[in-house]
Structure 1
Amino acid sequence: MTTRLSVDFRDVGVIFAADRGFNYGDGLFETLRVVGGTAPLWARHAARLDTGCERLRMPTPDLAAVHAEVLRLCAGLDDAVVRITYTRGVGERGYALPSVQRPTLVIAASPLALETGASRDGIAVRLCDTRLAIQPALAGLKHLNRLEQVLARAEWSDPAVAEGLLCDMEGHLVCATAANLFAVLDGELTTPPVDRCGVAGVARAEILSSTPVTVSRMSPAQVLGADEVFLTSAVRGILPVRAFGVRTWQPGPITRALQAHWAGLGLPLPYRAKDSDR
């Protein structure tokens, strides 16, 4: 089945070449999962989009209408991935904000099929050479400029490596190219802060609200010494890390408990967990 598209609530797939999202990356996006006609993490996506609009000085869209459009496009799909792209719209030439903002809303929905092995057995990750620039004004936002992630993902083509970990300019680990990072360090579940760079993921927010987590800067060496490591993604869920550098792991009890929590939200795992996994 092809991707279903709407632009400004109309079933078209065209935007103007003068759109600031196209020209400057001036906008935000959300990527969410819809299961059986329900978006379980919608409230978190909506809150992040609202906060992002405020920080970028953009008018917030009608979030109820956006939600309804997401569900309309996903009608008949058992499991879907949706991207909401929200730009400042067409404006005058130059970086100055348009005198009147007319944002553009693009929603794309596609069927989703998750890989079974990633959630069950874990994934291999590598350390990227590309580093994230420190920019607190944009930190945490899911803004449209993803060139750092594009360059990082271009560093490898080995299909055995599923993700790359990114450091900031000072060598602190921040996240993966398309996920947030968690590690169990000295018995404490820990995740890096995203106050200077990186994205404040909605899956990360769900974990922070559901279990005790220490937010602390961490190094690659600390992760290599961790008891458990996993990544979080609103679409892919809780992904155990089974290999990083010379270190290997089996999915641990904290990872499995959080996978069970994730499934309890209405976001099913792509495999049925055994009792020993829980």
Structure 2
Amino acid sequence: MIGRRLVNGVETTAISVDDRGLQYGDGLFETMAVVNGRVRNLDRHLDRLTAGCRRLGMPMPDRALIAAECDKALEGLGTGAVKLLLTRGPGPRSYRPPEEPSMRRIVISSAPRPRNDPESGIVVRLCDTPLGLNPVLAGIKHLNRLEQVMACSEWNDPTIAEGLMSSVDGRLVCATAANFFVVHEDRLLTPDIRDCGVAGVMRGIVLEAARSLGIPHEVGDVTEAVIADSTEMFLTNAITGVRPVGEVLTLRRWDAPGPITRRLIDFTTGTTG
């Protein structure tokens, strides 16, 4: 259920048809969990948004203003999600960005979606749609999501919760809307987000948690063979947290959650709730 929708702080459902976010995907977004009426890990999300603005050459709005608009959109909503979109605003018909953009802030709140993950972990599949390589855009959450849209259109089986996406050179990089970790050779391993994919907020929290817990961990390349040889796997997402995987179709099954996954669930639930 959609809650409130704000555009530059004003409640409305309309934006200009010449908005560059609509015309060219010229912008960024953050999807954030809401617990007890408060945005969880807001500073981390705004840090990534700031980095994205710097990368795209856009001015970053005042953080306090964004926080206030999120609070306004969340009035009356105890638990759920808030999506923040930041576009370069309206402009003439040209790819060239305006020298002084009129930035547009869009904030949308929504109630939580029901999620009934099996206790034995979710099932994921391998997607056919590849991720293109572009180190300039890697890591940030820009508005161009056609690769993820196409990947999600590959299946409609409700028992499959997510799909893993590979780069065009064959590395497994992420899920359609999550990062992933495996336990391989007694080390926690997550893909390097160097030329495609999004560096998720929850991914960063889990890496910090692994350091705090003394869990050996590494950021590097992951292949199908590595997943097939791993002893645990889980996904991470700002809304769903740490999500144990019980099976990657055609590759591997696990008794989930494994011991390292369980430790990280317990630790991150206590530090980010």
Inter-partner Cα distance in structure 2 for 1:80 and 1:90: 30
CA contact (8 A) 1:79 1:113 kept: no
Gaps of 5+ in 1: 268-278
Q: Give how far 1:261 is off.
A: 1.7
State the superposition RMSD in angstroms. 1.2
Q: Give how far 1:262 is off.
A: 2.2
Inter-partner Cα distance in structure 1 for 2:147 and 2:65: 32
Inter-partner Cα distance in structure 2 for 1:179 and 1:218: 15
Q: Give how far 1:255 is off.
A: 0.8
CA contact (8 A) 1:114 1:236 kept: no
CA contact (8 A) 2:41 2:272 kept: no
CA contact (8 A) 2:2 2:108 kept: no
Alignment of 1:1-278 (within 5 A): 2-117=2-117, 120-212=119-211, 213-246=217-250, 247-250=252-255, 251-267=257-273
Q: Give how far 1:39 is off.
A: 1.8
Secondary structure of the 2:162 match is strand
TM-score by length of structure 1 reads 0.93
CA contact (8 A) 1:130 1:151 kept: yes
Inter-partner Cα distance in structure 2 for 1:265 and 1:71: 21
Q: Give how far 1:258 is off.
A: 1.1
* 1:83 partner amino acid: K
Inter-partner Cα distance in structure 1 for 2:221 and 2:61: 34
CA contact (8 A) 2:31 2:238 kept: yes
Q: Give how far 1:123 is off.
A: 0.6
TM-score by length of structure 2 reads 0.94
1:70-128 Cα offsets, whole Å, 9 max, x none, are 1221122221111100000001211111132101110000111441425x431100000
Inter-partner Cα distance in structure 1 for 2:128 and 2:23: 27
In the TM superposition, structure 1's runs of 4+ consecutive aligned residues that sit over 2 Å from their partners are none
* 1:52 partner amino acid: G
Give the number of equivalent residue pairs.
Answer: 266
